[in-house]
Structure 1
Amino acid sequence: MAVAAKSITPPDRVAIRRALLSVSDKTGLIEFAQALAARGVELVSTGGTRKSLAEAGLAVRDVSELTGFPEIMDGRVKTLHPGVHGALLGIRDDAEHAQAMETHKIAPIDLLVVNLYPFEEVRQKGADWANTVENIDIGGPAMIRAAAKNHAYLACVTDPADYASVLDALDEGDGALSYEFRKTLAARAFARTATYDAAIAGWFADALDIQAPARFALGGKLASSMRYGENPHQQAGLYLTGEQRPGAALARVVQGKALSFNNLNDTDAAFELAAEFDASRTAAAIIVKHANPCGVAEGPDLLDAYRKALACDPISAFGGIVAFNQKLDADTARAVVEIFTEVIIAPEASDEALQVIAAKKNLRLLLTGAMPDPRAGGRVLRTIAGGFLLQNRDAQSVDDLDLRIVSRREPSAQELADMRFAFRVTKHVKSNAIVYAKNGATVGIGAGQMSRVDASRIAAWKARDAAEAAGLAEPQTLGSVVASDAFFPFADGLLAAAEAGATAVIQPGGSMRDEDVIKAADEAGLAMVFTGVRHFRH
């Protein structure tokens, strides 16, 4: 049953005479408190916050003076008291509330300054169960919600980044805060407790391995606003969830223009694919355009890998995103800047490489410090009208699969190596996906088609265009292998690959017509391997 609101008009301005400060993050605390005191605001505080203020020479009352009750249970119980919550929740223009405050000697609080126990940081550091639980704040969220609900009569500040704007608003209002400003602070306060609770719920779900929680909360903090989203008429921003996975969201932006929505989306796609290649085993270069790879290669060094990746589709590479799995060197940097490139992302870069890229002032360079683990779990989601879809990250690696040879002809060692390479790439190509590969490099990619046979034909067509651009007599699909992200439902897609010159096929298998497809492979002299795992990416 809903609670009916009392018909009271909130005051436009509320004079700030008393502030309660209780913070874990003490960034800017002393300066803010000093500025409040200089404006005649009485300070009340708790525990470590009160100690910090007193040591700075500020006159500050202990919250126990308001409650008449000491902190107990190692500080777990200190503000959960009517003396505090009555001061926060009292409707001051309501006679009944005012009488209750007077009867129980509850003095109003006009400004609440609270930030929460560092649960998110403790979780990220991998603390044990007991320490993580101990950093779940109780009194802080309770006070924030009380003050934010009663924003008609007081203001609530939850982020040190807002201290300056509060002081400016106080000066503008001659010691008072406007109703509109209090509402803005209340909105931020509820968003903070919501993201905090989402982090706690997410930790419990992960720790207990709850695959499909009955309720799933997602919280994020705005890291940057963007000029627009996918298109100029759409608004967008980057929000951080707290997941510590190296990548585009958390990378250090060394230089270049501000990253756009599409830049970040494409850069994430490129770097996640780069992570599929073990940097201790091989160098890898990935070129992505519109979230699809248009060139992927591995080699003895980054320069070799980049040149082979570029050769796959040099036209699409123009204005693309380039990702590397190893430290970027100067020679590779020089090769990349020869054509227009939007973003380069790598774990590190040499000083000389930085100098090379610095000459291209608009080129964005992102350094992550590490590569993400392609086998690590985690959740990914996608919004749909009325809700969102939630699933585990696709953490399957072809290196862990038991490949089954189903054709009469067994693949050669080189074919098998290229098949593993191609299937690794196919995992990151939009479905329906077909990838031709040869000697550790893609030579044709067909992405996002409604028909798998069309994907095969488009990949072959792009390979012919690349060969013509390179002045080659024949496309590199001749003698290549082909990978499909899902099974061939009919033999036509496989036969299209054979017509393009592929000699071996890697696919998940599992179609009702597998026997027909195997027969067609045998008749065409193809070697074929089943993985038993598909990699749809919609």
Structure 2
Amino acid sequence: MAVVSKNIPGPDLMPVRRALLSVSDKAGLVDFARSLAHLGIELVSTGGTAKAIAEAGIAVRDVSDLTGFPEIMDGRVKTLHPAVHGGLLGVRDDPEHAEAMRANGIEPIDLVVVNLYPFEEVARSGADYAAIVENIDIGGPAMVRAAAKNHAYVAIVTEPDDYAAVLNALELNTGSLTLEFRKKLAAKAFSRTAAYDAAISNWFAAALEIEHPTWRAFGGRLQSVMRYGENPHQSAGFYLTGDPRPGVATAHQVQGKALSYNNINDTDAAYELVGEFDPSRSAAVAIIKHANPCGVAQAASLREAYLKALACDPVSAFGGIVALNRPIDAEAAEEIVKIFTEVIIAPDASPEAAEIIASKKNLRLLLAGGLPDPSAPGTTVKSVSGGLLVQSRDNAVVDAMDLQVVTRRAPTEKELSDLRFAFRVAKHVKSNAIVYARDGATVGIGAGQMSRVDSSRIAASKARDAAQAAGFPEPLTKGSVVASDAFFPFADGLMAAVEAGATAVIQPGGSMRDDEVIAAADEHGIAMVFTGVRHFRH
């Protein structure tokens, strides 16, 4: 049953006479508390927060003095008391509320400073189940929500970043805070508790292996406001969920302009792709444009891998994103800066490489500190009108697949190596995806077409253009292998690959016409293997 409002408006300016402080993150606490005390505000606090304030020589009243009840149960129960929540929730201008406060000796609390137990950090640390549960804050969120609900009279501060703004507002308004300011603090507080509860519920779902909980929530903290979204008329912001997976969200930006919405989207695609390649086995480079690879290669060195990747489609590479699976060195940096590049992302960079890249002041250099694990479990989320599509990350890797040879001719060892390479790349190409590869490098990529045969033809056409630009007598698809992210529904897609010069094919299989496609491959002496795994990417 809905609660009926008495419609009592809160005052515009609300004097702050008493503040309750209870924080897990003690950054800036002492200076903030001292400033509040200098403004004549009485300080009430709990546990370690009260101790830190008192040790700094600042007068502070213990919350147990307010409640007349000691902290119990290892601090689990300390602020869950009518003396606290009555002081937070009381509507000061409601005669019934005011009388209840007087009758029960409840003192009003005008400012609440609370940040929550570090549940997210503890959950990410690999702590055991009991330790994680113990870091679920109860009293903190209760106070935050109570103060935020009663923002007509109470101001709520949930993180140290807001201390300066609160002090400035108090000084500007002679010890009071405006209603508009209190509303903004309340909105932020509810967002914080929502993200906190989302982290807890998602951790429980993962810990209990509940794939699809009845209620699902996701939360994040604003990292930056974009100049615009995909297009100039769209607004956009970048939020961090706290997932420690190495990538654009965890990376340190060494230099360059602020990242745009499209930069972040494309850089994420690039780094996830290059993470498919084990740096202990080979250097690998991926060049991405509009979230699709336009060139990928592996080689003995990053420089060689970059040049091979660039040769696949040098026209599209202009203004692209370059991802590397090893710390970037000077030799690779010298090649990359020769053409206009938006972003470089790598695990790290040598000082020499960083100095070379610094000559291009607008070029963004991101150092992620590690590579994403392509086989690690995870969750992806996509919005649709009125809902969210949530699925597990595509963490299938070709090295773990049981490849089945379905043609009379089996692939050679060299073909098999290139087939695995091509299928790794196809996983990260928009469907329908066709990838030609040769000698550990893409030589033609067809992406995002409505028919698979069109993707095959576009990839072959790209290869012809690249060969002409490089002065090769014929496109590198001659003698290449080809990967398809899903089965060939008809033999025409395969025939387009044959016409381009491919000698071996890797695909999931599973079409009603598999026999027809296999027969066409046998007729032309093509080796073909089935993976049994599809890599649609929309």
Taking structure 1 as the reference length, the TM-score comes to 1.00
**Rounded Cα–Cα distance in structure 2 between residues aligned with 1:413 and 1:110:** 74
| Aligned-partner Cα distance in 2 for 1:321–1:153 | 50
Q: How does 1:136-285 map to 2 (within 5 A)?
A: 136-285=136-285
Q: CA deviation at 1:9?
A: 1.5
**What letter is aligned with 1:402?**
D
Tell me what 1:330 maps to. 330
Question: Equivalences for 1:336-485 in 2 at 5 Å?
Answer: 336-485=336-485
Q: Which residue of 2 aligns with 1:111?
A: 111
Q: In structure 2, what residue type is equivalent to 1:98?
A: A
> Which amino acid is 2:184 matched to?
T
> Identity of aligned pairs, percent?
71
Question: Which residue pairs with 1:318 in the alignment?
Answer: 318
1:319-352: CA deviation from partner (whole Å, max 9, x where unpaired): 0000000111101100000000000000011111
Distance 1:328 1:161 in 2: 35
1:124 CA displacement: 1.2
DSSP 3-state at the match of 2:482: strand
> In the alignment, residue 530 of structure 1 is paired with which amino acid?
F
Q: Distance in 2 between matches of 1:32 and 1:369?
A: 34
Determine helix, strand or coil for the equivalent of 1:144.
Answer: helix
Separation of aligned partners in 2, 1:323 and 1:189 = 38
Deviation at 1:83, TM superposition (A): 0.5
Inter-partner Cα distance in structure 2 for 1:348 and 1:189? 36
- Counterpart for residue 73 of structure 2: 73
What is the rounded CA distance, in whole Å, between the counterparts of 2:26 and 2:154 in structure 1?
Answer: 22
- Distance of 2:411 and 2:156 partners within structure 1: 68
d(CA) in 2 for partners of 1:262, 1:7 = 46
CA deviation profile, 1:41-75 (whole Å, cap 9, x unmatched): 00001111111110001111111111110111111
Give the Cα–Cα distance (whole angstroms) in 1 for the partners of residues 209 and 365 of structure 2.
Answer: 37
Q: What is the Cα deviation at residue 264 of structure 1?
A: 0.6
Counterpart secondary structure, 2:286: strand
Query: Displacement, 1:106?
Result: 0.5
- Give, in whole Å, the separation in 2 of the partners of 1:86 and 1:409: 80
Partner deviation per Cα, 1:272-293 (whole Å, 9 max, x = no partner):
0000001111110100000000
Per the alignment, residue 486 of structure 1 pairs with 486
Q: Partner residue of 2:91?
A: 91
User: Which blocks of at least 5 consecutive residues in structure 2 are unaligned?
Assistant: none
Matches of 2:73 and 2:108, distance apart in 1: 26
Alignment of 1:294 with 2:294, yes or no, is: yes
For residue 14 of structure 2, give the secondary structure of its aligned residue in structure 1: strand
1:164-207 deviations in Å (ceiling 9; x for gaps): 00011111111110110000000011011101101101111111
- Matched AA of 2:256: G
CA drift at 1:525: 1.1
SS in 1 for 2:505: strand
Question: 2:3 corresponds to which residue?
Answer: 3
The equivalent of 1:37 in structure 2 is 37
Structure 1 spans left out of the alignment, 5+ residues: none
2:281 and 2:324 map into 1 onto residues whose CA distance is 13
Q: Does 1:100 align with 2:100?
A: yes
Q: Which residue of 2 aligns with 1:511?
A: 511
Residue 249 of structure 1 and its aligned partner are, at CA, apart by: 1.1
What is the alpha-carbon distance in structure 2 between the residues aligned to residue 206 and residue 460 of structure 1? Answer: 44
**Cα distance in 2 for residues equivalent to 1:7 and 1:217:** 32
User: Offset at 1:427?
Assistant: 0.2
C-alpha distance in 1, partners of 2:373/2:172? 51
Cα deviation code 1:382-422 (max 9, x no counterpart): 00000110000000000000000001111111111110000
Partners of 2:25 and 2:259 in 1: how far apart?
29
SS in structure 2 at match of 1:348: coil
Task: Give secondary structure in 2 for the equivalent of 1:219.
Answer: coil
The SS at the match of 1:294 is: strand
CA distance in 2, matches of 1:112, 1:387: 35
One-letter amino acid matched to 1:213: P
Q: Provide the C-alpha distance between the structure 2 equivalents of 1:390 and 1:28, rounded to a whole number of angstroms.
A: 39
How far apart, in 1, do the equivalents of 2:416 and 2:121 lie? 44
Cα offsets for 1:339-373 (capped at 9, x unmatched): 00000000011111111101111100000111111
Structure 1 consecutive aligned stretches of length 4 or more whose deviation exceeds 6 Å: none
Which SS does the other structure have where 1:83 is aligned? Answer: helix
Q: Give, in whole Å, the separation in 1 of the partners of 2:227 and 2:264.
A: 13
* 1:10 shift after superposition: 1.1
Amino acid across the alignment from 2:413: A
In the alignment of these two chains, the number of paired residues is: 538
Cα distance in 2 between the residues matched to 1:215 and 1:163: 34
- The TM-score normalised by the length of structure 2 is 1.00
User: For the residues of structure 1 that align with 2:251 and 2:88, how far apart are their CA atoms?
Assistant: 41
Q: Does the residue aligned with 1:396 lie in a helix, a strand or coil?
A: coil
- 1:7 Cα deviation after fit: 2.1
Root-mean-square deviation (Å): 0.6
- Three-state SS of the structure 2 residue aligned to 1:285 is strand
